[in-house]
């Protein structure tokens, strides 16, 4: 049986009257890559900061590596790795100086310190560039160096909060190679991301919305939760077509929304769309559910729930999942 390294029960964080993280129950097994997704302000960073021992829960309980979040924060900080979007590097210090500084924070000395620093320089691909100031490195290098700093002390669990935004796609792929490698060697990785392709590569994906966990499963299982069949439609005048579909002219459509410049129509299993009637001249393709479709579906199925209304501006029936998508481009 794989060991559970993160377990929360009714984990809640309030800021005054405002509930940022609302009654979250989750568990993460050792070696898992666990994706944590949700729109702006959903509560991702607040959850991660509680799991890292940086922020005390208001109520509920959480155990990380067997340590209670309410009391074990100080010890926990030494045992976990944490990396935020800001990369927490000192720009005026060199590559080596940053690594030395973190070694000191983690209590590494002597030959072990030297060995780990050398390994992290190699992992970041910065061999020969140890003396360069961090501020002169481009995003991808800085990102890998920050990761090296976060895992110098060989944490069993690594929390990555938006660590993959703001770098180019090639650097993202390199970064993910390192993550997979860490996970393959037993490190548990919890990652918040706005990139749906990254969500696809997680063993498990949790979706947080208005502070509540509304899904937590493997990407495959999540995709199976969407009923009916999904079509992708390319057409001139897609906007008008969508209006007709939403007026019921295509038959029993479960859901319809823009997906880039195309339309996605989720229809009853028995309905087969053909390029005729309102779809004359359109290109119609039956497609597999992607994670983005999963999130559109999940968000809409929770739209009627009592979830802190007004908390996230601009979240309407079709816009919550696109809010997730748009963030990827910020
Ligand atoms: N220290 C704080 N005091 C008051 N409110 C806070 C504090 N920290 C976070 N919040 C609020 O809690 C909610 C959740 O914030 P959080 O940063 O966890 O969201 P997030 O999912 O990480 O969003 P993003 O995608 O923008 O990073 C937000 O409405 C935020 O304004
Ligand atoms: Mg955040």
C-alpha of residue 118 to centroid of ligand 2, in Å: 31
Atom of ligand 1 nearest to the CA of 49: 18
Region 58-79: mean pLDDT is 91
| pLDDT for the residue 327 | 37
Q: Which of 222, 242, 277 is the last residue in one of the domains?
A: 222
Q: 82-131, pLDDT tens digit by residue? A: 998 777 899 999 999 999 999 998 999 999 999 999 999 999 999 999 99
| pLDDT for the residue 304 | 63
- Check whether 66 has a pLDDT greater than 80: yes
Domain count, the chain: 2
Q: What are phi and psi of 295, to 5 degrees?
A: -70, -40
Q: 171-192, pLDDT tens digit by residue? A: 888 899 999 999 999 999 999 9
Which residues surround ligand 1 with Cβ inside 6 Å? 15, 20, 38, 40-46
Q: Is the pLDDT higher at 81 or at 316?
A: 81
Q: Please report which confidence band the pLDDT of residue 315 belongs to, taking 50, 70 and 90 as the band edges.
A: very low
Q: Which of 191, 222, 253 is the last residue in one of the domains?
A: 222
**Structural domain boundaries, residue 186:** 4-222
Atom 17 (ligand 1): residue with closest C-alpha? 45
Q: State what percent of residues in the chain have pLDDT above 70.
A: 91
Region 192-202: mean pLDDT is 84
Environment of ion ligand 2 (residues, CB < 5 A): 44-45
Instruction: Give the pTM.
Output: 0.86
- Check whether 317 has a pLDDT greater than 60: no
Q: Indicate the top mutation candidate among 42, 312, 314 to test ligand 1's pocket, ranked by most ligand atoms within 8 A of CB.
A: 42
Same domain, 198 and 235: no
Same domain, 170 and 308: no
The CATH number covering residue 179 comes to 3.40.50.300
| pLDDT for the residue 121 | 96
Q: 217-249, pLDDT tens digit by residue? A: 999 999 988 888 999 999 999 999 999 999 999
- Check whether 316 has a pLDDT greater than 70: no
| pLDDT for the residue 157 | 97
Same domain, 181 and 46: yes
Same domain, 144 and 228: no
Same domain, 104 and 167: yes
Same domain, 208 and 241: no
Q: Is the pLDDT higher at 27 or at 197?
A: 27
C-alpha of residue 99 to centroid of ligand 1, in Å: 30
Least confident of 8-22, 205-219, 289-303: 289-303
Region 9-19: mean pLDDT is 97
Q: Which of 222, 247, 280 is the last residue in one of the domains?
A: 222
Same domain, 110 and 184: yes
- Rounded-to-integer distance, Cα 5 and Cα 156, Å: 9
Ligand nearest to the CA of 20: 1
Q: 244-297, pLDDT tens digit by residue? A: 999 999 888 888 999 989 999 999 888 889 999 999 999 999 999 888 888 888
Same domain, 275 and 310: yes
Residues 6+ apart with CB under 8 A from 166: 85, 139, 143
Considering the chain, what is the average pLDDT of its residues? 88
C-alpha of residue 85 to centroid of ligand 2, in Å: 9
- Check whether 18 has a pLDDT greater than 60: yes
Same domain, 199 and 243: no
Residue 304: other Cβ atoms inside 10 A? 8
| pLDDT for the residue 271 | 87
| pLDDT for the residue 17 | 95
Q: What b-and-e string marks burial along 8-17, b requiring 16 or more CB atoms within 10 Å of the CB?
A: beebbbeeee
Residues 6+ apart with CB under 8 A from 288: 223, 230
Same domain, 193 and 257: no
Same domain, 173 and 237: no
Q: Indicate the top mutation candidate among 46, 83, 160 to test ligand 1's pocket, ranked by most ligand atoms within 8 A of CB.
A: 46
Residues 6+ apart with CB under 8 A from 86: none
- Check whether 308 has a pLDDT greater than 60: no
* Cβ atoms of residues 191 and 164 within 8 Å: yes
C-alpha of residue 233 to centroid of ligand 2, in Å: 34
Paired sense of beta strands 204-209 and 33-37, if any: parallel
| pLDDT for the residue 305 | 63
| pLDDT for the residue 296 | 83
| pLDDT for the residue 88 | 82
- Check whether 321 has a pLDDT greater than 50: no
Same domain, 235 and 167: no
C-alpha of residue 48 to centroid of ligand 2, in Å: 9
- Check whether 60 has a pLDDT greater than 50: yes
From residue 309, alpha-carbon distances to 187, 210, 317 in Å are: 38, 8, 13
């Amino acid at each position: 049986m794989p060991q559970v390294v993160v377990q929360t029960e009714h984990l809640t964080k309030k800021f005054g009257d405002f509930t940022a993280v609302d009654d979250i129950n989750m568990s993460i097994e050792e070696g898992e890559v666990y994706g944590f997704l949700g729109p702006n302000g959903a509560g991702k960073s607040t959850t991660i900061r509680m799991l890292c021992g940086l922020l005390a829960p208001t109520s509920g309980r959480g155990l990380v590596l067997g340590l209670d979040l309410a009391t074990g924060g100080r010890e926990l900080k030494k045992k976990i790795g944490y990396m935020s979007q800001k990369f927490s590097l000192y720009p005026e210090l060199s590559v080596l100086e940053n690594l030395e500084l973190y070694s000191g924070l983690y209590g590494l000395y002597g030959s072990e310190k030297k060995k780990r620093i050398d390994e992290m320089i190699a992992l970041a691909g910065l061999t020969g560039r140890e003396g360069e100031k961090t501020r002169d490195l481009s995003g991808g290098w800085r990102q890998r160096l920050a990761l090296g700093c976060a895992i110098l002390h060989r944490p069993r669990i690594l929390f990555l909060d938006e660590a993959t935004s703001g770098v180019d796609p090639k650097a993202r792929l390199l970064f993910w190679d390192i993550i997979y490698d860490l996970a393959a060697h037993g490190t548990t990785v919890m990652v918040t991301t706005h990139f749906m392709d990254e969500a696809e590569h997680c063993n498990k994906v949790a979706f947080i919305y208005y502070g509540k966990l509304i899904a937590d499963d493997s990407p495959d299982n999540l995709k199976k939760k969407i009923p009916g069949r999904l079509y992708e439609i390319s057409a001139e005048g897609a906007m008008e077509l969508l209006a007709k579909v939403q007026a019921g002219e295509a038959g029993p459509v479960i859901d319809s929304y823009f997906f880039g410049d195309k339309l996605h129509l989720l229809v009853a299993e028995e309905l087969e769309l053909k390029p005729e009637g309102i779809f004359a001249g359109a290109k119609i393709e039956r497609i597999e559910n992607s994670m983005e479709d999963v999130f559109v579906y999940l968000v809409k199925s929770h739209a009627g729930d009592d979830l802190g209304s007004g908390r996230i501006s601009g979240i309407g029936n079709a816009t919550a999942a696109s809010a997730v998508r748009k963030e990827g481009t910020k």
